[in-house]
Amino acid sequence: MRRLNLSYRGKDKSTDILSFPFHPVHGHPPESMMLHSSPMLEGLDEGEGRNLGDMFLSVQFVQLDCRRNNEGLVSRLPVLFAHGICHLLGYDHEEEAEYRRMAQKEKSILQKYSESQRLF
């Protein structure tokens, strides 16, 4: 994970999750990745699955981080996946305004996930 982070982000350290979008997202607002408005995703209907990209998770890094923060792995994974999905959709958190917007989207994803878990 450290090598991936160095190669693709220029950061010589390990991290929990990395996202690699299949569609060019830089320069496009995240809303442009929504199916109803995206020329990048034209031709897909609502019922089809969409491959937004790849996410790499460092289980070892996450387990150590969970131990350090006295947090359970099961509760941490949905948060990480929501974060990774936001990056696949074009969200970022380098600037404060971007951070707030991405945090709101993560919260929305996690609320929907939580609601779906109550169905089972």
Q: What is the CATH number of the domain that holds 7?
A: 3.40.390.30
Q: Is the pTM of this model over 0.85?
A: no
Question: Please, which pLDDT band fits residue 49 given cuts at 50, 70 and 90?
Answer: low
The mean pLDDT of 27-34, rounded to a whole number, is: 54
Mean pLDDT computed over every residue of the chain: 84
Give the per-residue pLDDT at 118: 79
Burial of residue 84 (number of CB atoms within 10 Å: 0-12, 13-18, 19+): buried
Tens-digit pLDDT profile for residues 74-106: 999 999 999 999 999 889 999 999 999 999 999
Q: Give me the domain span that covers residue 61.
A: 2-117
Q: Measured between alpha carbons, how far is 92 from 24 in angstroms, rounded to an integer? A: 14
The total domain count for the chain is 1
